[in-house]
Structure 1
Amino acid sequence: MSFSRRQVLAGLAGVGVLGLGGTAVRYWLGRPHDLATHDYQLIAAPLDVELVAGQPSTLWAYGGQAPGVELRCRQGDRLRVRFINQLSEPTTIHWHGIRLPIDMDGVPYISQLPVRPGEHFDYDFVCPDAGSFWYHPHTASSEQLGRGLVGPLVVEEREGNAFRHERTLCLKTWAVDEQGAFMPLLVPREAARAGTRGRLATVNGQPRPVVDLPAGEVVRLRLLNVDSNITYTLNLPAAEARIYALDGNPVAPRGIPAKGLRLGPGMRVDLALRVPASGELALRDGPLRLATLRAVGAPAEASDWPAPLPANPIAEPDLQRAELLRFNFEWAASLADPADPVYWQINGKAWQSPAPGCAAQPIARLRLGGHYLFELRNLSQYLHPIHLHGMTFKVVWSDRQVIEPWYTDTYLLGKNETARIALVADNPGLWMFHCHVVDHMETGLMAAIEVA
């Protein structure tokens, strides 16, 4: 694949200084006046925020807020984003969960060159599926995601849906101390285990916020885990709520499991919540309160639950003729070289981040249009949210739980679990296949799968 470097910006005329809730914002996102070239202009830049009251933290942010500005488009429409890098180091944007052409996937030296400081890159692709997605770098991921480069992307249903109200809630725990200073974002001994945990849990960048919702209405809550390493166990005690979509893909509406819903890094869930006529509900991660959901306004008359969301146009894999491929996700810390920490591997191979002139060696080669069954084996006691770029797969079996098959781009593989997923290899390219615990990915738990 050949690349051409995008033009270096000849200045940022028109980029002003805005005020956002009392926070100093250096750069902006907005609809451009000229829609001929792009729909959004999205700038990555430093941002000063008080995550800890009275203690400023310098984050890295998209569009002047962290998590980043919510981008929206309609299913089947083209999304055009001019990305401008005003950070001090190269970066990219990966559009997590979107089935798009390989040259828009945002993986450095695999699908594009890194966007260097002061440069821009035009992302331009059609969004074939409706749902809740997100965007983040695929460059120095522990540092860049950890400092705040994450943001939601909502693709609205082509023909609409029965929800009249919705809110997007991004879950992220920050690795900052009591003075707001960043702590180490990747600790080797933690990367070899469950991953480095932050200490300050937030929803939409705020610790334990109060979220106002219309009393008596059924509201669509889009919950996105944009954390680097933490799996949340979500519950809404005493609430009437149903799951309508997992990772952007509709499911038959169902209740939240009694033990809570586990949402690994990169995963999303769309809930229908019937807001009470008055009072408050707690959104919790296990026993920890993440946010308070407060009913406001005159209560609406009781209404039926919305109809199920329409299915996305995903090819159905034929399990009878699918080729079986096996992938072992293994702990390899005992073999690690202190000078080159590699703690994880897939089928005995640890990913080495590519650089200019480095050719990726695919762990598997799939025939374009072929049907495949992947067997995923977790040979460790730690959770691995396994994510595949460029395609959507169907979860069909597990030896640890009863599976009601659904489509997704990320499967949370439990400790010592074996699961099977099925897909049609319908998108040509060299696609990343990795654990979305960023510490695990950064220390070996990633591979490339070629479709040709």
Structure 2
Amino acid sequence: MSFTRRQVLGGLAGLTALGLGGVGARLWLARPQVAAEHDYELIAAPLDLELVPGHQTAALAYGGRFPGVEIRGRQGDWLRVRFTNKLDQPTTIHWHGIRLPIEMDGVPYISQPPIPPGQSFVYRFKTPDAGSYWYHPHLMSSEQLGRGLVGPLIIEEREPTGFSQEKILCLKTWHIDEAGAFTPFSVPREAAREGTRGSLSTINGEHLPVIELAAGQITRLRILNLDNTVTYRLNLPGGEAKIYALDGHPVAPREFKEQYWIGPGMRLELAIRGPAVGAELSLRDGVVRLATVRGVAPTQAASAEWPAALPGNPVSEPDLAKAETLNFKFEWVGAMSEYASGQERPSLWQINGVAWQGGEEHKHNGPPLAKLKLGQSYIFTLRNMTQYQHPIHLHGMAFKVLDSNRRPIIPYFTDTYLLGKNETARVALVADNPGLWMFHCHVIDHMETGLMGTIAVGDAWCG
């Protein structure tokens, strides 16, 4: 993957026009101004990428690169990101998985107005939870995410974890043809099924990369699914690895066996032992190779022992004995509906019989799917009435996965649960963050064609 000199110079010229000359290049690359305060400048702008050798793809990117520049904070500290929109369309940034105030959540017309071209907005919030998260727009999502507006957000633990080296792997399948030109991000016929799939799988923007790991040593591998549609069935035949966290939240370390299904928006943290020098492993999606893992001679002294479990995040434990149960049914509407007058896309999916209207481009005035009392515990029963998987994502809060009628569950906290075909699962939470929070499938096709709603906590909705 590469980008053209024209795009780099164009981005720098734009910074001068915005009054960011002199140190503009440094700011454009989103390096911290004050590292101790985790203070960033970040710009979204067009960028040509060489995803297909010899061809340019007219992508969009954060900080002049794909994946978007890595933003890091530390648990319990403030994070400040001054974001500038240099696209030719409005946008926002949603901080996926982070528990933050509603004003910082980045959902247009719900938590903030869209940020127009040429304008800036300062996102500033504390980061209560350590772990692997990511950031992306929540406006014109199929196109803006599809063209590359995604990036990793890493919140480090306050104390040493025992990991001395790590790598971040961002998974994305691009909707492009053999010449690198974009193909449709959403096709109604596919949106009514599993979602419109791309054609070129990449890790960190590279097709079939080689990932070098220090032989015999333990590396923390942060795997982020930043794709619009694809659920990856990750497996590593012959590899030594353990699962340490799911979607940012620590779990008791356990062997990484067979495969792990990671839906759009989800994250997986592994501890992996590098193979012997020159030996190779295949990181795969089912039977399809995504990357080659190769052992290389260590360049630093690092532990060959498995680290202790990561410290837990301060998520409120729901009181199951006093919890109120709410039911959510995720359904297909039963037919390919005709587009209503002025409607940009069809309604194909619904939650409890209601389809989200207007995509993300217009204000939604419908009532929330549920109104929760601040501080009360709740159990959500999630029932998938369809033949397709849905990664169900809740903004603003973490929930605890309790059980499923389709598979054994070791309870864990998350923000996104992959609800399987015809599966019923129960999750629980404490409604401890006031606001009007989005609740949706993270297959972008599904979200934009109806599988989205809001959950009100406290006095967030008075309609």
Q: Match for residue 18 of structure 2?
A: 12
Deviation readout 1:394-440 (Å, 9 max, x if unpaired): 00010001111000000000000000000000000000000000000
Aligned to 1:274: 273
Deviations 1:301-339 (A, max 9, x none): 873211000000000001111000000000014162234
Determine if the alignment matches structure 1 residue 341 to structure 2 residue 346. yes
Asked if the contact 2:348–2:449 (Cα under 8 Å) also holds between the matched residues in 1, the reply is: yes
Contact 2:378 2:430 in 1 (8 A): yes
Contact 1:192-1:333 at 8 Å conserved across structures: no
Structure 2 SS opposite 1:233:
strand
Deviation at 1:287, TM superposition (A): 1.1
Alignment of 1:31-430 (within 5 A): 31=31, 33=33, 39-258=39-258, 260-278=259-277, 279-298=279-298, 303-334=304-335, 336-339=337-340, 340-353=345-358, 358-430=364-436
CA distance in 2, matches of 1:356, 1:280: 50
Contact 1:241/1:274 (<8 A) preserved: yes
Counterpart CA distance in 2 for 1:344 and 1:399 is 23
Code of the residue aligned with 1:442 in structure 2: it is E
- Cα displacement (A) at 1:136: 0.4
User: Could you say if the C-alpha distance between residues 318 and 424 of structure 1 is closer, same or farther in structure 2, counting changes exceeding 3 Å?
Assistant: same
Q: Distance in 1 between matches of 2:91 and 2:69?
A: 17
State the SS of the aligned residue for 2:45: strand
Query: CA separation of 1:344/1:17 partners in 2, compared to 1, >3 Å: closer, same or farther?
Result: farther
| Separation of aligned partners in 2, 1:100 and 1:30 | 21
- Counterpart of 1:189 in 2: which secondary structure? helix
Q: Secondary structure at the match of 2:142?
A: helix
**Aligned-partner SS, 2:335:** helix
User: What is the Cα deviation at residue 99 of structure 1?
Assistant: 0.2
Identity %: 63
Partner-residue secondary structure (3-state), 1:394:
strand
**Residue 13 of structure 1, CA deviation:** 3.2
TM-score (norm 2): 0.90
Q: Give me the whole-angstrom Cα distance separating, in 1, the residues matched to 2:349 and 2:221.
A: 35
Partners of 1:172 and 1:201 within 8 A in 2: yes
**In the superposition, relative to structure 1, how do residues 70 and 33 fare at CA in structure 2: closer, same or farther (>3 Å)?**
closer
Q: Is the 8 A contact 2:395 2:437 kept in 1?
A: yes
Q: How many pairs align?
A: 437
Q: Give, in whole Å, the separation in 2 of the partners of 1:196 and 1:99.
A: 30
Judging changes above 3 Å, is the alpha-carbon distance between structure 1 residues 34 and 270 closer, same or farther for their aligned structure 2 residues? closer
2:318 and 2:456 map into 1 onto residues whose CA distance is 18
| C-alpha RMSD of matched pairs (Å) | 2.2
Distance 1:137 1:302, change over 3 A: closer
CA contact (8 A) 2:213 2:295 kept: yes
Structure 2 counterpart of 1:22: none
Q: Is the 8 A contact 1:16 1:28 kept in 2?
A: no
Check the 8 A contact 1:15/1:28 in 2, yes or no: no
> 1:387·1:410 contact (CA, 8 Å) conserved in 2?
yes
Inter-partner Cα distance in structure 1 for 2:275 and 2:383? 43
| SS state at 1:51 partner | coil
User: Which residue does the alignment assign to 1:5?
Assistant: none
Question: Distance in 2 between the 1:357 and 1:237 partners?
Answer: 48
Cα distance, 1:15–1:419 mapped onto 2, change above 3 Å: farther
Look up the SS of the partner of 2:103 in the other structure.
Answer: helix
SS in 2 for 1:145: helix
In the superposition, the TM-score normalised over structure 1's length comes to 0.93
Could you say if the C-alpha distance between residues 166 and 38 of structure 1 is closer, same or farther in structure 2, counting changes exceeding 3 Å? closer
| 2:10 aligned partner | none
1:187-238 deviation digits (Å, cap 9, x = unpaired)? 1100000000000000000001112221211000000000000000000110
Q: CA deviation at 1:67?
A: 1.5
1:294 Cα deviation after fit:
1.5
- Higher deviation after alignment, 318-327 or 345-354: 345-354
In the alignment, is the contact (CA less than 8 A) between 1:203 and 1:291 conserved in 2? Answer: yes
For 1:4, the equivalent position in structure 2 comes to none
1:55 aligned counterpart, secondary structure: coil
Give the Cα separation in 1 of the matches to 2:407 and 2:391: 16
Alignment CA distance shift 1:184-1:293 (3 Å): same
437-446 or 348-357, which deviates more: 348-357
Q: CA separation in 1, counterparts of 2:67 and 2:44?
A: 11
Q: In structure 2, how many angstroms separate the alpha carbons of the residues matched to 1:105 and 1:323?
A: 26
Q: C-alpha deviations, 1:65-108, integer Å up to 9, x for none?
A: 12211100100011000011000000000000000000000000
Distance apart, 1:295 and its partner CA: 1.4
Structure 2 alignment gaps of length 5 or more: 1-14, 459-463
What is the one-letter code of the residue matched to 1:53? P
Give the AA of the match of 1:359: N
What is the one-letter code of the residue matched to 1:323? E
Q: Equivalent residue for 2:7?
A: none
Q: Residue 190 and residue 451 in structure 1: after superposition, are their counterparts in 2 closer, same or farther (change >3 A)? A: same
CA distance in 2, matches of 1:36, 1:112: 28
1:21 paired residue number:
none
Return the alpha-carbon distance in structure 1 between the equivalents of residues 151 and 302 of structure 2: 34
C-alpha displacement of 1:32: 5.8
CA distance in structure 2 between the partners assigned to 1:415 and 1:185 by the alignment = 23
